[in-house]
Chain A
Amino acid sequence: MSYALTPFEAEVIERHDETPDLFSLQLRLTDATRQAQYRFVPGQFNMLYLPGMGEVPISIVSDPEDRHVINHTIRKVGSVTDNLGKLQVGDRLGLRGPYGRGWPIDAAEGTDLVVVTGGLGCAPSVSFIEYALRRQSRYGHIHIIQGVKHAHDFIWRERYELWRTYPDVDVWLTADTGDTLWPGKVGPVTQFFDQLSIAPQRTSVIMCGPEGMMNAVVRDMRQRNVPDTQIWLSMERNMHCAIGSCGRCQLGAKFVCRDGPVFNFAELAPYWGHKGV
Chain B
Amino acid sequence: MYISRFLPRERFDDLIEALRAAGYPIVGPQVHDQAIVFDALNHAAQLPIGIVDEQSPGRYRLHASDTNRYFDWTTGPQALKPMTFVPRETLWRSVRQPDGQLEFSAEHADMPQTAVIGIRACDLAALAIQDRHFMHGPQSDPYYVQRRERLFLVAVNCMRSSDTCFCAATGDGPKVHTGQDLSLSELDEGFILEAHTGQAREILASLSIGPADDEQLDRAETGIKQAADNQRRSLPAGPLQEKLVGAVDHPHWQTLNDRCLTCGNCTAVCPTCFCQSHVEEISLNGQETRHDRQWESCFNPDHSYIHGIVIRAERPQRYRQWLTHKFGTWEEQFGRGGCTGCGRCIAWCPVGIDVTEELAAVCSPPTLTADSGGSPS
Contacts and interface: CB of A to CB of B under 8 A. Distances in A.
Contact of B275 (A90, A91, A248): A248
Contact of B94 (A94, A241, A244, A246): A94
Interface in B110-160: 133-134, 137-142
Interface residues of A, number: 46
Given A51-B96, A248-B296, A276-B376, A3 B139 contact: yes
B139 A250 contact: no
A90 B248 CA distance: 50
Contacts of A271: 245, 248
Contact of A52 (B101, B106, B133, B289): B289
Interface in A92-108: 92-94
B275 A275 contact: no
Contact of A250 (B277, B289, B302, B325): B325
A52 B282 contact: yes
B137 A252 contact: no
B4 interface: no
A92 B102 contact: yes
A270 B245 contact: yes
Interface string A225-255: 0000000000011101101111110101101
Contacts of A183: none
A276 B137 CA distance: 27
Given A55-B278, A245-B133, A246-B276, A6 B245 contact: no
A271 B280 CA distance: 33
Nearest to B282: A52
Given A52-B289, A274-B249, A243 B282 contact: no
Contacts of A2: 139-140, 142
Contacts of B248: 271, 274, 277
B106 A77 contact: no
B312 interface: yes
Contacts of A92: 96, 100-102
Interface string B308-320: 1001111001101
A8 B280 contact: no
A248 B277 contact: yes
A78 interface: yes
Interface string A48-60: 0101111100000
A54 B292 CA distance: 10
A7 B333 contact: no
Contacts of B303: 238, 248
A32 interface: no
Interface in B235-274: 241, 245, 248-249, 274
Interface residues of B, number: 58
A51 B102 contact: yes
Interface in B298-334: 298, 302-308, 311-314, 317-318, 320-321, 325, 329-333
A216 interface: no
Interface string B201-216: 0000000000000000
A5 interface: yes
B286 interface: yes
A9 interface: yes
User: In the complex, which of the residues B91, B134, B333 has the most CB atoms of chain A within 10 Å of its own CB atom?
Assistant: B333
Contact of B139 (A7, A51, A245, A253): A245
Given A54-B278, A237-B311, A276-B311, A5 B104 contact: no
Contacts of B138: 243-244, 258
A4 interface: yes
A54 B91 CA distance: 13
Contact of A247 (B142, B298, B331): B298
A9 B303 CA distance: 28
A91 B213 CA distance: 74
B336 interface: no
Contacts of B278: 54-55, 240-241, 246
Nearest to B297: A247
A58 B92 CA distance: 21
Contacts of A253: 241, 329-333
16 contacts: A3-B106, A9-B102, A91-B100, A92-B96, A244-B139, A246-B277, A246-B278, A246-B296, A248-B277, A248-B296, A250-B321, A253-B241, A258-B138, A275-B376, A276-B313, A276-B320
Interface of A: 1-9, 30, 49, 51-55, 75, 77-78, 90-94, 236-238, 240-241, 243-248, 250, 252-253, 255, 258, 270-271, 274-277
Given A3-B106, A90-B100, A94-B94, 16 more contacts: A1-B106, A3-B140, A52-B280, A78-B308, A94-B104, A237-B311, A238-B305, A243-B139, A244-B138, A246-B293, A248-B275, A252-B329, A253-B241, A253-B329, A253-B332, A276-B318
4 A-B pairs with least C-beta separation:
A276-B317, A77-B307, A247-B275, A253-B329
